[in-house]
A = this chain, B = another copy of it.
């Protein structure tokens, strides 16, 4: 594990962008999987500066790592987010985008290995320790891509139900821990004081499904990029 503690969100975003971009400067096929959400917001702005309207990124393919499909909508939450934050601003060609959704998740791991494997996956961490869609209550480390099984009494059920207009079960798919850890490089990034506790647990605590991202530290080529607030509870 390489731990990089930066001075602020800007530096965290710059370094994350360097890691992602440097993989793309290859003539051979490159397969990447990048997170949506608030943590990468600034990173995607930087990527735009180096990717938009460039003719030399046809070799780079993108694999979505989770999805929450919405009733009556073509795209789920993740695809919608990535389209807005990344695929459209960075002018990624449609044929280089590999959507994950409830109809194709069962063959998705096989598809990735057939395509040569992921060169890099960039993930964030939730305050509850989740990464991708691997939530504390539902995570099995041995899982490949799966649909998250929620029951009506579950904590996230009602929340998601309202959000997506249908029962979440079957609507939510995600790379399992094993899919994520099968990438050649894993980058975990986080910023802000509200991530300090979970970062401490994930990086310095036991490997446990109670903190799903605690398993990431077992990857042979993990880079962790934090701002100093997110790193503030680390002992060393």
Contacts and interface: CB of A to CB of B under 8 A. Distances in A.
Interface of A: 1-5, 11, 14-15, 17-19, 21-23, 25-29, 50, 56, 59, 113-117, 140-142, 177-178, 181-184, 205-207, 214-215, 217-221, 223, 225
A132 to B, nearest CB: 15
15 contacts: A2-B26, A4-B25, A21-B22, A22-B22, A26-B221, A26-B223, A29-B113, A29-B115, A141-B215, A142-B205, A142-B207, A178-B217, A178-B218, A181-B219, A218-B219
A25 B50 contact: no
Copies in the complex: 4
Nearest to A214: B142
Contacts of A29: 113-117
Contact of A116 (B28, B183, B206): B28
Contact of A50 (B14, B141, B214): B14
A140 B29 CA distance: 26
A2 B217 CA distance: 22
A47 B53 CA distance: 26
Contacts of A19: 22, 25
| Most chain B CB inside 10 Å of its own CB: which residue of A3, A50, A142, A223 | A142
A86 B131 CA distance: 38
